[in-house]
């Protein structure tokens, strides 16, 4: 049997164990900082795909045709049958140049410009959505890692307590209840550590997916939480009312404009056409005849009404969707501003009151135990309360930082859009 602990030695061991913390952490090679994650968000597949589509349109829309239609060349060989004296081979050669009188080329270029504006705004909208998604997932991973670090520190302490209590029980220094309490605390810490490890793996996989990289369960959120610089509250309130400048709303409005431009292009494609040309006829008698040709064509009953109606309906739908989204985004922005204030209040409460009070409670319970006036159970319960307070403090800090980053990302987009609007 091992050495016997006297009460004084036992209480000293309790104090040393409770204040010990396993702080060493192995850094992973697969780490990504917040700034790196935000930079990578602009290169995710959905953003790159739209940017590439815009690049192709910018290059190839330069070759859009003019109002000049196709050049038609016709060759008509024939045989004169009567009168017999003039019978022989005859040939007629004609050339005709067509023109669209409805300015189809101009309307096509206008529609193409509107579609390129849609793609450019879509790049911005998808980039902003990707940044918000990546930022949120980076925060989730950081929170999981922070909570796991706290629990692992606690697990190391509780494991030593459990072993110390087992030895103390064998020496008759504590009761079976105190031993069972320490064992239960150890088991609970192990359960929580396993659970949070699962949360960390899920968060790492989610972040790697959001970044468009291969699944990496060992991905780590490197560095501290970001501390973005926000404008004064009055400026935030002013900008939050201008959600129509956000790319998601602007995208719907531009899609409405592009649909109208396509409707006009469709109408022009069925417009009147002018053909100007000439024909040369070589007769069997050796004579040569030259004719000038002027040709008008009309669309008649079919003027592309079906395609035009579809474009008009799409334009109206996009415009109404923009109005609805604007309302939703104003509510979302108001909620984000409220969360900015609320999360700060919660963090102040937890970090300035709850956590210090829990630390003081543990110190007093440990002092009571040292003086022989307290019990191991009371110390363990105080330790558990402190662990919970530390996790809540870390969570509250992450929540307030996320609220700041969320507002920061939205305001940055609003400021860019505001500057662009002023320069036009």
What does the pLDDT read at residue 35? 92
First to last CA, the chain: 87
3-state SS, residue 105? helix
19-28, 183-192, 360-369, 382-391, range with the lowest pLDDT: 19-28
Using CB atoms within 10 A of its CB, is residue 144 exposed (0-12), middle (13-18) or buried (19+)?
buried
Q: What value does the mean pLDDT take over residues 263-275?
A: 87
Q: How many separate domains does the chain show?
A: 1
CATH number for the domain that contains residue 408: 1.20.1600.10
Q: According to the per-residue pLDDT averaged within each range, which of 130-134, 165-169, 415-419, 420-424 is highest?
A: 130-134
Residue 27 inside a domain? The answer is no
What's the predicted TM-score (pTM) here?
Answer: 0.77
What string of H, E and C letters represents the secondary structure of 180-192?
HHHHHHHHHHHHH
Q: What is the pLDDT of residue 173?
A: 56
Query: Is position 35 within any domain?
Result: no
- Average pLDDT rounded to a whole number, residues 305-331: 93
DSSP secondary structure of 247-272:
HHHHHHHHHHHHHHHHHHHHHHHTS-
Q: Is the pLDDT of residue 19 over 70?
A: no
The answer, yes or no, to whether residue 12 has pLDDT greater than 70, is no
The answer to the question of residue 210 being in a domain is: yes
Q: Could you tell me if 355 and 393 are in contact, meaning their C-beta atoms sit under 8 angstroms apart?
A: yes
- Mean model confidence pLDDT for the chain: 84
The predicted model gives 191-201 an average pLDDT of 93
Q: Are 249 and 424 in contact (CB under 8 A)?
A: no
pLDDT in tens, 130-149: 999 999 999 999 999 999 99
pLDDT at 246 over 50: yes
Closest to 257 (Cα-Cα) out of 115, 126, 61, 122: 115
- Mean pLDDT within 371-380: 78
Q: What is the pLDDT of residues 272-295, one digit of tens each?
A: 888 899 999 888 777 888 888 888
Residue carrying structure tokens 């009404």: 305
- pLDDT category of residue 373 using cuts at 50, 70 and 90: confident
pLDDT given for residue 146 in this prediction: 92
pLDDT score, position 176: 72
- Which among 91, 64, 94, 77 is positioned nearest to 295, based on CA atoms? 94
- Write out pLDDT tens, residues 23-53: 223 334 489 999 999 999 988 999 999 999 9
The answer, yes or no, to whether residue 367 has pLDDT greater than 60, is yes
CB 322 within 8 A of CB 252: yes
Asked if the structure places residue 31 within a domain, the reply is: no
Identify the CA nearest to 269 among candidates 111, 81, 381, 420: 111
* Bridge partner residues of 73 (DSSP): 95
Find the range with the poorest average confidence among 80-84, 132-136, 328-332, 394-398.
80-84
- Mean pLDDT across the stretch 96-119? 90
pLDDT given for residue 4 in this prediction: 40
Residue 26, in any domain of the structure: no
What value, to the nearest 5°, has the Cα angle with vertex 224 and ends 223 and 227?
130
What would the mean pLDDT of 112-130 be, rounded to a whole number? Answer: 94
> Residue 401's CB: how many other CB atoms inside 10 A?
21
Range of the domain at 333: 40-423
Is 417 domain-assigned? Answer: yes
């Amino acid at each position: 049997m091992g050495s016997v602990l006297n009460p004084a030695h036992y209480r000293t061991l309790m104090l040393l164990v409770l204040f010990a913390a396993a702080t060493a952490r192995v850094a992973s090679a697969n780490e990504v900082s917040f700034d790196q994650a935000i930079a990578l968000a602009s290169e995710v597949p959905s953003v790159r795909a739209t940017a590439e589509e815009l690049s192709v349109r910018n290059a190839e829309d330069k070759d859009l045709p003019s109002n000049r239609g196709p050049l038609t060349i016709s060759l008509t060989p024939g045989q004169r049958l009567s009168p017999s004296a003039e019978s022989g081979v005859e040939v007629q050669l004609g050339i005709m140049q067509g023109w669209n009188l409805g300015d189809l080329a101009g309307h096509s270029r206008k529609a193409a410009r509107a579609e390129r504006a849609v793609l450019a705004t879509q790049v911005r909208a998808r980039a902003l959505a990707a940044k918000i998604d990546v930022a949120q997932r980076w925060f989730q991973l950081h929170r999981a890692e922070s909570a796991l670090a706290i629990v692992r520190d606690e697990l190391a302490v509780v494991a030593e307590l459990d072993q110390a209590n087992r030895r103390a029980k064998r020496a008759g220094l504590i009761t079976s209840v105190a031993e069972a309490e320490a064992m239960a605390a150890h088991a609970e810490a192990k359960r929580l550590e396993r659970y949070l490890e699962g949360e960390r793996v899920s968060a790492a996989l989610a972040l790697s997916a959001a970044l468009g990289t291969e699944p990496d369960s060992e991905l780590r959120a490197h560095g501290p939480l970001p501390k973005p610089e926000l404008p004064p509250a009055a400026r935030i309130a002013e900008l939050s009312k201008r959600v129509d400048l956000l790319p998601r709303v602007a995208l719907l409005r531009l899609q409405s404009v592009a649909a109208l431009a396509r409707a006009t292009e469709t109408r022009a494609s069925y417009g009147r056409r002018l053909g100007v040309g000439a024909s040369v006829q070589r007769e069997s008698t050796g004579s040569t005849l030259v004719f000038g040709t002027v040709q008008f064509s009309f669309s008649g009953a079919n003027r592309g009404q079906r395609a035009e109606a579809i474009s008009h309906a799409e334009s109206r739908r996009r415009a109404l969707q923009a109005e609805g989204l604007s309302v939703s985004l104003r509510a979302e922005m108001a909620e984000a501003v409220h969360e900015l204030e609320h999360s700060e209040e919660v963090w102040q409460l937890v970090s300035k009151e709850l956590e210090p009070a829990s630390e003081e409670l543990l110190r007093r319970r440990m002092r009571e135990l040292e003086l022989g006036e307290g019990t191991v159970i009371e110390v363990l319960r105080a330790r558990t309360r402190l662990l919970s307070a530390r996790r809540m403090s870390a969570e509250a800090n992450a929540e307030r930082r996320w609220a700041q980053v969320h507002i920061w990302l939205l305001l940055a987009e609003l400021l860019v859009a505001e500057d662009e609007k002023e320069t036009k």
